Amino acid sequence: MTTAPKLDANFIKTFAAAALETLRVQCSFEARVGKPFIKGQGEEVESAIAGIIGLTSNVFKGTIAIAFPEKTFLAIMGGMLGESFEVMTPDLEDGAAELMNIVFGCAKKSLSEKGFTVERAVPTVVKGKNVEIRHISTAPILIIPFESPAGGLQIEIVLE
């Protein structure tokens, strides 16, 4: 069985806390963190849209993504923009990248305090039916699942 390296355990905690903070403050959206797992060893959400950022640091490189089923994403955008959305529109799509941006910014502060200097690339958005995120590495993909009344979402982290 594949186990996550120690570095990833720090990342799980840091990024989970950053995601909860971002959703709560920016989107008035309350979620709960589930039990993290390695991709292929747990139940994932069927993502319709994801925001992805490439990371580089003094000790690793990798990618991190936040992925949402359509229903969850629309509920989160509704909270962020103060209106309700029934369908996905192109105008909402950059919201996935912006949320990833904010989650990263939140996490970066904590990671800096732990001695990791992390820089990021410009975030991108992928969308589609049950979208598969292409990470730059073949290392195991860590999934941090979140639950909410509007449905699930997940963060994917790959580091090497």
Partner 1 sequence: MFSKDTRILVVDDMRTMRIVIKKTLASLQFTNIVEADDGTTAWSELEKAMANQTQFHLIVSDWTMPKMTGLDLLKKVRTHAKLTNLPFLMVTAEADAAQVKEAIAAGVSGYITKPFSADTLKEKLAAMHERITKAG
Nearer to partner 1, 6 or 83 (CB): 83
Nearer to partner 1, 16 or 102 (CB): 102
Q: Which of 16, 65, 102, 144 binds partner 1 (CB under 8 A)?
A: 102
**101 forms part of the interface with partner 1 (CB under 8 A):** yes
Q: Of 124-143, which residues contact partner 1 (CB under 8 A)?
A: none
Nearer to partner 1, 21 or 70 (CB): 21
State whether residue 17 is helix, strand or coil: helix
Q: What is the largest CA-CA distance in the chain?
A: 45
- Spell out the residues 6+ positions from residue 62 whose beta carbon is closer than 8 angstroms to its own: 54, 55, 135, 136, 137, 139, 157, 158, 159, 160
| Token pair in block for residue 121 | 């690339």
Residues that bind partner 1 (CB under 8 A): 21-22, 24-26, 77, 80-82, 91-92, 94-95, 97-98, 101-102, 104-106, 108-109, 112, 122
